[in-house]
Structure 1
């Protein structure tokens, strides 16, 4: 993993992180509910290599909330997108309702919040 690079999970894959390395695996398509974000966030919570920041943007369902809980318990900084600014609000809303979001922001506000957090 390199600094200042955004990594995007490919379609029909799951991504985990182990000792600072991203691992891609095929997603089990027989499982109807895609929990790829929870899988990644849970692996990130268990990895001791990085300071952790998680951002939950527009999306459908509750994927990510379980992983956010694990990350929050490990001291991660959690940002959720405002429901009004999200095209699909159920994913960020689930994180907001869980109480684990440190910040609820519009996407345009997120870079400054992340920079401020990293400067602490």
Structure 2
């Protein structure tokens, strides 16, 4: 089963998170990603779109490699952010960033959270992300 199929199945089994719960998850994304020490900057925003409720944009810390960032994102997701009932994730990478698409369901018939965590690298001149 693909990530998109898993995501649709989990979304159909619950309702989108909102209010205080989504605020709490947003705060958790911010705190746990920053505490990983892989990132010099983390920004989390709510989208209002049930297909991707949260987007976290991270700037990798100096010396962080694409491999360490990818492994770190998955570790933070699995250890600290996903609900324990059910979840799925997909790791992607291009020449500029590492991406982690996520979905998690609190309980059967409960709330779900969907999101995207993207991590990039700041150029020396500060004009955008680059892997390296």
TM > 0.5 fold call? no
The structure with the largest strand share of the pair is 2
Bigger Rg over Cα: 2
TM-score category of the 2 structures, normalised to the smaller one: under 0.3
TM-score by length of 2: 0.26
Instruction: Give the structure with the larger helix fraction.
Output: 1
Q: Which has the higher contact order (CA 8 A, sep 6+)?
A: 2
Structure 1 length normalisation: TM-score? 0.27
